[in-house]
Amino acid sequence: MLIMDAMELQQFRYAVALAEEESFTRAAARCFVVQSALSHQIKRLEDELGVSLFSRTSRRVELTAAGTAFVSAARVSLQYAERAGIDAAAAAGYIRGRLSVGVIPTVTAIDVSAALKAFRAAHPQVHIVLQVSGSDVLEPAIIRGEIDVAFLGLPETRQPRGVAWRDLGSDPLVAVVSHEHPFASRHEISLSDLASETFADFPTGTPARDESDLAFAAAGIHREVAFESMATDLTIDLVRQNLAVTLLPSRYAPNHQALVSLRIDDGPSRTEYLAWSNFNPSPATIAFLETIKKAQASS
């Protein structure tokens, strides 16, 4: 029986790379070694295990049944080894590794760039991956372990589900219209005033869209949404061209001479949250949560 100490983690990495690349040449390039060295280590690993992990021809490399089982376990072992190194470094006051941060397009409760600057200054060895998407994508991604932490925006009637969260504050939605629009001379309107308008909004079913849909439905008002997009810059351009009106959080609404933001006296609000998984958060995640806590306290 092979004991774990006899296996080098590098052999695990080579085996995983070869399984994923299905080519000795590509796997060697990915691992920054010459092909002969990788081939030797794979053969050595197979000899130590007493089984063939890969079936080889001159054109193809495929996992055997034993190889499939081994590579699956090797991936887990590599993840644990990486995490052990990260935890040991964190215990010594040194945080490294990877941090995945999800951000909604209209986040306003926190200056995300400033928070990332502060975090980066304190933890320069952490590799940060940013994903900009809707809350309906980011929330389940946290649950699946694909994202470490995310900024969410949800209707005031709903809180995050299946994740740990912190309330970052609420913001009323305002109507944004072109300066050519008949409402441009007004300072305040109601939802009923907007009933006959053509809207640009987020896609149907997204939390950002629900904020508006729920408010109009509660008021018994049907509205026409002619343009749907997750790209807020494009939505704002459509409004600037007087093709539509839109609803946006007041702190996000652009301050531009071609646009006018109007308070809605019976309008909805959007609540922003910082969300993460409480299941074994990484040191980088914990440090980032602390960074946001400090940023929120100082704002």
- Which tens digit of pLDDT belongs to each residue from 152-183? 999 988 999 999 999 999 999 999 999 999 99
In a domain, 162, yes or no: no
Same domain, 248 and 292: no
Q: What is the pLDDT of residue 74?
A: 87
Closest CA to 206 of 83, 99, 57, 105: 105
In a domain, 163, yes or no: no
Instruction: Report the percentage of the chain scoring pLDDT > 90.
Output: 66
In a domain, 102, yes or no: yes
* CATH classification at residue 104: 3.40.190.10
Q: Is the pLDDT of residue 283 over 50?
A: yes
Q: What is the pLDDT of residues 114-128, one digit of tens each?
A: 999 999 999 998 999
In a domain, 138, yes or no: yes
In a domain, 60, yes or no: yes
Same domain, 143 and 283: yes
* CATH classification at residue 14: 1.10.10.10
Strands 164-178 vs 269-276: parallel, antiparallel or unpaired? antiparallel
User: What mean pLDDT is predicted for residues 12-24?
Assistant: 90
Q: What is the pLDDT of residue 94?
A: 64
Q: What one-character DSSP code corresponds to residue 185? A: G
Residue with tokens 């992990």: 53
Same domain, 174 and 267: yes
Domain that holds residue 238: 169-271
Same domain, 264 and 181: yes
Total residues found in the chain within this entry: 299
Highest mean pLDDT among 47-51, 80-84, 190-194: 190-194
Q: How many CA atoms lie within 13 A of 190 on its CB side?
A: 6
Q: What is the pLDDT of residue 256?
A: 87
10 Å Cβ neighbour count for 204?
Answer: 10
Q: What one-character DSSP code corresponds to residue 146? A: S
In a domain, 158, yes or no: no
Same domain, 84 and 102: no
User: What mean pLDDT is predicted for residues 82-110?
Assistant: 76
Same domain, 141 and 217: no
pLDDT classification of 89: cutoffs 50, 70, 90: low
Same domain, 28 and 47: yes
Q: What is the mean pLDDT of the chain?
A: 89
Instruction: Categorise residue 16: left if φ over 0, alpha if ψ from -120 to 50, beta otherwise.
Output: alpha
Strands (E), the chain: 54-56, 61-63, 97-103, 126-132, 149-155, 164-178, 188-189, 198-201, 224-228, 246-249, 259-264, 269-276
d(CA 171, CA 229): 21
Highest mean pLDDT among 91-100, 265-274, 276-285: 265-274
Same domain, 145 and 82: no
Q: What one-character DSSP code corresponds to residue 64? A: -
Same domain, 181 and 254: yes
Domain limit, last residue, from 68, 91, 114: 91
- How many folded domains does the chain comprise? 3
Q: What is the pLDDT of residues 200-246, one digit of tens each?
A: 999 999 999 999 999 999 999 999 999 999 999 999 999 999 999 99
In a domain, 200, yes or no: yes
Q: What is the pLDDT of residue 43?
A: 92
Same domain, 61 and 112: no
d(CA 259, CA 268): 20
Q: Is the pLDDT of residue 4 over 70?
A: no
* CATH classification at residue 205: 3.40.190.290
Domain limit, last residue, from 91, 115, 135: 91
**Residue 152 β-bridge partners:** 273
Q: What one-character DSSP code corresponds to residue 32? A: T
Structure tokens at 246: 């839109």
In a domain, 37, yes or no: yes
